[in-house]
Protein backbone atom coordinates (compact mmCIF):
# COMPACT_ATOMS: atom_id res chain seq x y z
CA UNK A 1 0.00 0.00 0.00
CA UNK A 2 1.32 3.46 -0.86
CA UNK A 3 2.06 6.11 1.73
CA UNK A 4 -0.94 8.16 0.61
CA UNK A 5 -3.17 5.13 1.00
CA UNK A 6 -1.94 4.56 4.53
CA UNK A 7 -2.55 8.20 5.41
CA UNK A 8 -6.06 8.02 3.97
CA UNK A 9 -6.91 4.89 5.96
CA UNK A 10 -5.51 6.44 9.14
CA UNK A 11 -7.59 9.57 8.53
CA UNK A 12 -10.79 7.58 8.11
CA UNK A 13 -10.11 5.59 11.28
CA UNK A 14 -9.30 8.78 13.22
CA UNK A 15 -12.51 10.41 11.99
CA UNK A 16 -14.65 7.44 13.04
CA UNK A 17 -13.07 7.34 16.50
CA UNK A 18 -13.34 11.11 16.91
CA UNK A 19 -16.98 11.21 15.83
CA UNK A 20 -17.80 8.38 18.22
CA UNK A 21 -15.89 9.94 21.14
CA UNK A 22 -16.98 13.59 20.98
CA UNK A 23 -19.94 13.72 18.61
CA UNK A 24 -20.31 14.57 14.97
CA UNK A 25 -20.10 18.37 14.99
CA UNK A 26 -17.23 18.60 17.46
CA UNK A 27 -15.34 15.90 15.53
CA UNK A 28 -15.96 17.69 12.24
CA UNK A 29 -14.73 20.95 13.76
CA UNK A 30 -11.51 19.26 14.92
CA UNK A 31 -10.93 17.46 11.59
CA UNK A 32 -11.31 20.68 9.62
CA UNK A 33 -9.97 23.18 12.16
CA UNK A 34 -6.65 21.59 13.08
CA UNK A 35 -5.23 21.31 9.52
CA UNK A 36 -6.56 24.78 8.67
CA UNK A 37 -4.92 26.32 11.74
CA UNK A 38 -1.66 24.51 10.96
CA UNK A 39 -1.70 25.84 7.38
CA UNK A 40 -2.40 29.39 8.56
CA UNK A 41 0.57 29.24 10.96
CA UNK A 42 2.98 28.72 8.04
CA UNK A 43 4.78 31.69 6.53
CA UNK A 44 4.38 32.54 2.85
CA UNK A 45 7.37 30.54 1.58
CA UNK A 46 6.26 27.45 3.49
CA UNK A 47 2.72 27.78 2.10
CA UNK A 48 4.15 28.00 -1.40
CA UNK A 49 6.07 24.75 -0.81
CA UNK A 50 2.92 23.03 0.51
CA UNK A 51 0.93 24.12 -2.53
CA UNK A 52 3.77 22.88 -4.76
CA UNK A 53 3.70 19.46 -3.09
CA UNK A 54 0.24 18.78 -4.48
CA UNK A 55 1.54 19.65 -7.94
CA UNK A 56 4.58 17.38 -7.45
CA UNK A 57 7.00 20.29 -7.86
CA UNK A 58 9.01 19.60 -4.71
CA UNK A 59 12.41 18.05 -5.41
CA UNK A 60 12.33 18.67 -9.14
Task: Pinpoint the alpha helices (H) of the chain.
Answer: 3-22, 24-40, 44-54
- Collapse the DSSP code of 53 into the 3-class scheme (helix H, G, I; strand E, B; otherwise coil) and give the result: helix
Query: What are the tens digits of pLDDT across the range 12-46?
Result: 898 889 889 988 888 888 888 888 999 999 999 99
Please return the burial class of 43, using the count of CB atoms within 10 Å of its CB with bins 0-12, 13-18 and 19+.
Answer: exposed
According to the model, what pLDDT value does residue 43 have?
93
According to the model, what pLDDT value does residue 55 have?
64
According to the model, what pLDDT value does residue 3 have?
85
User: Is this structure's pTM higher than 0.95?
Assistant: no
* pLDDT band for position 52 (cuts 50, 70, 90): confident
Amino acid sequence: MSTRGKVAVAGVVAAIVLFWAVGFWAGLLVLIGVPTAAYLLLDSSQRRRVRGMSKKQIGR
